[in-house]
Amino acid sequence: MANVTLEHITKRYEDVTAVDDMNLDIEDGEFVTFVGPSGCGKSTTMETIAGLTLPTEGTIEIGGRDVTDLPPKDRGISMVFQNIALFPHMDVYDNISFGLRLREYDQEEIDRRVEEAADIVQLEGMMDRMPEEMSGGQRQRVAIARAIVRNPDVFLMDEPLANLDAKLRVHMRTELQRLHKELDTTIIYVTHDQAEAMTMSDRIAVIDSGQLQQIDPPLVCYNEPTNLFVAGFIGSPSMNFVEGEVTADGFDAEHVTVDFDPDAYDVSVGDEVTLGIRPEDVYLADGVESVEDPSAVVDAWTDVLEPMGNEVFVYLKLAQDAELRIDERDSDQLLMSVDPDVEVEEDGEIDVVLDRSRVHLFETGSGDAIVHGLD
Ligand code: ADP
């Protein structure tokens, strides 16, 4: 077990800054996930911790020891990657024990560690199987067992579930959580999948363009995103954004107004602000008793309905002639989610309200959050 500290880590390639002044304090035994869009610098950050890449600037400590210039094998880490590189001509036992045999551990110790690791990842009775006789999930478990037997202080996992099918991925998520509980080891995990990050981590580090945006427990990132990027990235489907400005009465945009007293917040009349509201915090105005403090009614037109089984996503246009652009939510549209038993017609007029206590405001220019939830 060990804590991991990154101080001012920067990694520059010729014309790209892959990691930009990253500062992180990961506690002993913590499960921290790096999440962000493809190319944001997650893997490069991980590679600097692993020692596969030397940072251009900055220092890395593992367990209080400066490891910045140490080779991977001397850092007390084990790695699991997306591509499961098992030796195809070796059975499970030989694959798991390969590193220990290379280091000439005595046979009894090897057997003990392999048995223990196989037990943790539930591979008992499969020691003679060859990789080709196993499913993707089983092979990934062999790779994890191989990492476990090294008794690392820190596990580094880079998209280990990316090549598995959707159902298996969900199953492996719970296995990894169990593994973390059982081993009580620090785990640093890389994924582009915010759902994976939300479900497994003690804390999520949200990264964009090489820069750390926020590091917090999943629900804090969800409920109190530090800026527009985090607000849009965490949560699926993502938060609605409406650009407008602050007036003496609160928020004002072409189709949406939400009352508040500007003096009560860190805003001034005339400020350009972006309102954020999650789909589950938009309600039909009819029978809205469940919302204690609704906004003024927003006139809308229903466009596309997406029944998901447990809920229905309703795409709303705020101007009747607006063109719906599902991939790039703009100020002319809102996505709401309703219970499946609520009757909503396609192509109809509809009145909706926002739950004021769930409204977020951001500075439009900087993207920084101003307030989460209006009084
Ligand atoms: P992620 O893991 O978030 O998808 P990466 O850390 O792999 O992102 O990459 C971050 C950025 O650094 C990208 O723009 C990528 O093209 C660039 N990059 C990564 N590795 C190299 C390299 N060896 N040489 C040049 N550019 C690189």
Instruction: Give nearest CA residue, ligand 1 atom 13.
Output: 39
Q: What percent of the chain has pLDDT over 70?
A: 97
Residue 18 in contact with ligand 1 by CB distance below 6 A: yes
**Confidence tier at 328 by pLDDT (50, 70, 90):** low
pLDDT score recorded for residue 12: 97
Query: Mutate which of 9, 12, 13 to test ligand 1's pocket (most atoms within 8 Å of Cβ)?
Result: 13
Say what the pTM is.
0.92
Which numbered atom of ligand 1 lies nearest the CA of 43? 2
pLDDT computed for residue 150 by the predictor: 87
Would you state the pLDDT for residue 267?
A: 96
Q: Give the distance (Å) from ligand 1 centre to CA of residue 13.
A: 8
Mean pLDDT of the chain: 92
What mean pLDDT comes out for the span 145-153? 89
Q: What is the pLDDT of residues 21-40, one digit of tens each?
A: 999 999 999 999 999 999 99
Give residue-wise pLDDT tens across range 74-112.
999 999 888 778 999 999 999 999 989 998 899 999 999
Ligand 1 centre distance from Cα of residue 245 (Å): 38
Q: How confident is the model at residue 320 (pLDDT cuts 50, 70, 90)?
A: confident
Question: Would the CB of 13 count as within 6 Å of ligand 1?
Answer: yes
For ligand 1, atom 10, name the residue with the nearest CA.
41
Query: How many angstroms is it from 250 CA to the middle of ligand 1?
Result: 43
Reported confidence tier of residue 70, pLDDT bands at 50, 70, 90: very high
- Taking CA atoms only, the protein residue closest to ligand 1 atom 20 is 44
How many Å apart are CA 12 and CA 266, to the nearest integer?
A: 37
Note the pLDDT tens digit of each residue in 193-248. Answer: 999 999 999 999 999 999 999 999 999 999 999 999 999 999 999 999 999 999 99
Residue nearest to atom 7 of ligand 1 (CA): 43
144: tokens are: 């994890």
The closest residue, in CA terms, to atom 15 on ligand 1 is: 39
Nearest of 218, 355, 157 to residue 275 by alpha carbon: 355
